[in-house]
Amino acid sequence: MGSTSAENGAGKSAETTAAQHGTDGVGRRALIKRSAALGLVSVPAMGFLSACASGGGGGESNDDTQGETSKDNPFGVKKGTKLDVVIFKGGYGDDYAKAWEAAFRKKWGVTSTHTGTQEITGKLQPRFNAGNPPDIVDNSGAQKIKIDVLHRNGQLLDLAEVLDAPSVDDPSKKVRDTVIPGTLDPGLQEGKVVALNYIYTVWGLWYSGKLFEENGWEVPKTWADFLAICKDAKSQGIGGLAHQGKYPYYINVAIMDLIAKKGGLDAMKAIDNLDPKAFVGSDAAQAAVEAVYEVVEKGYLMPGTNGLDHTESQTRWNQYKAAFITSGSWLENEQLKQTPPDFDMKFLPMPLLEGSEMPFEAIRAGSGEPFIIPAKAKNLPAAKEFMRMMLSREWSTLFAKEANSLTILKDGVDPSVQLRPGTQSTVEASKAAGDNTFRFLYTEWYSEMDTAIQNASNELMARRIQPKEWLKRAQAAVDKAAKDPASKKNRRE
């Protein structure tokens, strides 16, 4: 406090007016009434004051944080200023951000205030409303602030400036050309990238390298090989496939990936675009769901897996009770404590059905975890530079080490760095996949349809319905979503 910001001045003037009214010589009652009313008025002003106090380095106006620009310092970071960083402390923790901040201080002499929290909305909404937002925010988790709402209120910086700046690693390239194609799209609002979805997630099957080696199993490339391993596992009292049955989201990863790989991108787009033949009448969908049902019918599921939640089933899998499990690449970090040291976690693209359009290496992949820079950030130059550095190889590697996950930076992990085995295997799989990646969007667009398909999958896994019925129910969900006029807004080509 004690700084001379505009908000501070406003608070003071409100207090002075209150004092003036007090000396007007009106009756005591009227005085109390008036001062109460004025008290109400000055509450927001007090809010400014206290926000100022908790805002760490708040108080500097933008002029104070603007340094000289140069080739290495395109945004003009000023030494000795402060940066206010807020990180969603969820599955990935916030150690990676602390490591970044330490590196940032070393390079630029800018110290940061670090907040790691799950309550993004609770902590930040008042600050956005008071015009005193942090400088950079990882806006994720269940309590994130909706990006479209922030954008419509003019709270978000258009990140084009950062994306068009030269890359830290290779100044001849723009930052936007160093990221994996398509990963910026989820951050688009009305044609502008306002959020940087930083983490690159791949989905598929996972297995234990140790278990495979002990049993002499080869990595299955076709569905037939996959079933053969399940069969062998079963004969040894190990479950074949485990899935997080309480959340049918996970088994849908298997079903939907098989559909996309069998039928190609067209089969995927048919679902996202609510095609009347997305499921019923689609050979890919039929083949995929029958393939998954075969696992159920032959008893290759880990016993009881249909009723287990993600922690229970994944822990069982870590205890070598199943050969495979479905999940995304957050799995390794999520299971850090339960994974035995010699488990050798490995990622596996979904094995191929016969006559598939896509190669075995194709994977479902995409970006998540949106980072934003508030338009009213106090230290914009440093925030922009911070984001530019996030997309450097050094910081991307730091992230991979601390959070055991990949970033959207192309080839973004230094090969000399020792990663955990699961993360390492996703690096290799992502490289092998190249441009053969796909991502369903119906889960983001039509949550009701997604839920209906998940319910159908739950029934399929419990053998209460057959693949034919599954297709019918999934198609009914698609048709229902197509009837909603709002669905016309979403379309992918």
Partner 1 sequence: MRKGQYRFVAGFLLVPVALYLIFVIWPYIQTFGYSLTDWKGQSQTFDFVGLDNYKALFQDDIFMGAIWHNILFLVFIPVITILLALFFAFMLNAGGRGRAGGVSGVAGSKFYRVVYFFPQVLSLAILAVLFRAVYRSDGGGMLNGALVKLGLVDADRPVEWLNEPDFVLWALIVVVVWHGVGFYLVLFSAAMQSIPKDIYEAALIDGASRGQSFFRITLPLLWDSVQTAWVYLGIAAMDMFILVSTMTSGEFGGGPDHHSEVMATVMMRNFLYYGKSGYACAMGVIMLLLTLILSVVMLRATRRERIEF
**Alpha-helical regions (H) of 404-486:** 421-433, 442-445, 447-461, 467-483
Q: Among 298, 336, 447, 468, indicate the residue that binds partner 1 (CB under 8 A).
A: 447
Backbone angles phi, psi at 263, to 5 degrees: -95, -5
Which residue among 304, 375, 443, 466 contacts partner 1 (CB under 8 A)?
304
Residue type at 370 in one-letter notation = P
Q: Taking a C-beta distance cutoff of 8 angstroms, is the pair 253, 364 a contact?
A: yes
- Cα separations in angstroms, 395 against 87, 100, 336: 15, 7, 22
Which of 181, 276, 307, 340 lies at the binding interface for partner 1 (CB under 8 A)? 307
Task: List, as one string, the DSSP characters of 115-148.
Answer: EEES-HHHHHHHHHHTT---SEEE--STTPPPHH
Asked if residue 306 binds partner 1 (CB under 8 A), the reply is: yes
Rounded distance, CA 70 to CA 108, Å? Answer: 13
State the pairing for strand pair 196-208/406-407. antiparallel
Of 62-121, binders to partner 1 (CB under 8 A) are: none
Answer yes or no whether residue 464 interacts with partner 1 by CB under 8 A. Answer: yes
C-beta of 337: minimal distance to partner 1 in Å? 18
Whose Cβ is closer to partner 1: residue 396's or residue 458's?
A: 458
Can residue 326 be called a binding residue for partner 1 (CB under 8 A)? no
- Residue from 146, 173, 298, 468 that binds partner 1 (CB under 8 A)? 146
Of 70-78, 264-272, 369-377, 443-451: span binding partner 1 (CB under 8 A): 443-451
Question: Which residue, 106 or 464, is less far from partner 1 as judged by CB?
Answer: 464
Chain center to CA of 12: 43
Residue 319's CB is within 10 A of a number of other CB atoms, namely 13
DSSP 75: T
Q: Which stretch binds partner 1 (CB under 8 A): 20-28, 104-112, 142-150, 287-295?
A: 142-150
Q: How far apart are CA 133 and CA 120, in angstroms?
A: 12
Amino acid present at 231:
K
Residue 312 near residue 292 (C-beta atoms within 8 A): no
Nearer to partner 1, 76 or 304 (CB): 304
CB 301 within 8 A of CB 295: yes
**Least Cβ distance, residue 462 to partner 1 (angstroms):** 6
Q: Which of 149, 224, 336, 417 binds partner 1 (CB under 8 A)?
A: 149
Token output for 73: 């310092």
Angle at CA of residue 201, ends 195 and 206, nearest 5°:
165
Using the rule CB under 8 A, is 311 a contact of partner 1? Answer: no
Stretch that binds partner 1, among 98-106, 147-155, 381-389, 430-438 (CB under 8 A): 147-155
Q: Does 303 bind partner 1 (CB under 8 A)?
A: yes
Stretch binding partner 1 (CB under 8 A), from 22-30, 163-171, 204-212, 447-455:
447-455
User: DSSP letters along 77-89, please?
Assistant: B-TT-EEEEEEE-
Which positions ≥6 away from 100 have C-beta within 8 Å? 386, 389, 390, 395, 398, 399
Site string for partner 1, 218-247 (x = CB under 8 A): ---------------------------xxx
CB nearer to partner 1: pick between 302 and 350:
302
Least distance from C-beta 470 to partner 1, angstroms?
Answer: 12
Task: Rank residues 105 and 463 by Cβ distance to partner 1 and give the closer one.
Answer: 463
Q: Which is nearer to partner 1, 306 or 379 (CB)?
A: 306
Q: Which of 448, 468, 491, 492 binds partner 1 (CB under 8 A)?
A: 448
- Give the angle 190-406-220 at the CA atoms, nearest 5°: 115
Q: Reduced to 3 states, what is the DSSP secondary structure of residue 9?
A: helix
* # binding residues, partner 1 (CB under 8 A): 29
Distance CA 87, CA 477 (A): 37
312 forms part of the interface with partner 1 (CB under 8 A): yes
CB of 299 to partner 1, least distance (A): 7
CA dist., res. 273 & res. 281, Å (int): 15
Q: Write each residue from 155 to 194 as x if it is in contact with partner 1 (CB under 8 A), else as -, in one continuous string.
A: ----------------------------------------
Of 186 and 263, nearer to partner 1 (C-beta) is 186
Verify binding: residue 459, partner 1, rule CB under 8 A: yes
Task: Identify which range of 50-58, 85-93, 257-265, 450-458 contacts partner 1 by CB under 8 A.
Answer: 450-458
Q: Are 375 and 154 in contact (CB under 8 A)?
A: yes
Q: Please check whether residue 88 is in contact with residue 197, taking contact to mean a CB–CB distance below 8 angstroms.
A: no
Q: What is the rounded distance in angstroms from the CA atom of residue 138 to the CA atom of residue 130? A: 19
The least distance separating partner 1 from the CB of residue 306, rounded to whole angstroms, comes to 5
Q: Which of 113, 338, 451, 466 binds partner 1 (CB under 8 A)?
A: 451
Selection from 185, 71, 135 nearest residue 374 by Cα: 135
Q: Which of 22, 122, 299, 340 binds partner 1 (CB under 8 A)?
A: 299
| Contacts with partner 1, residue ranges (CB under 8 A) | 146, 148-149, 152, 245-248, 299, 302-309, 312, 316, 447-448, 451, 454-456, 458-459, 462, 464
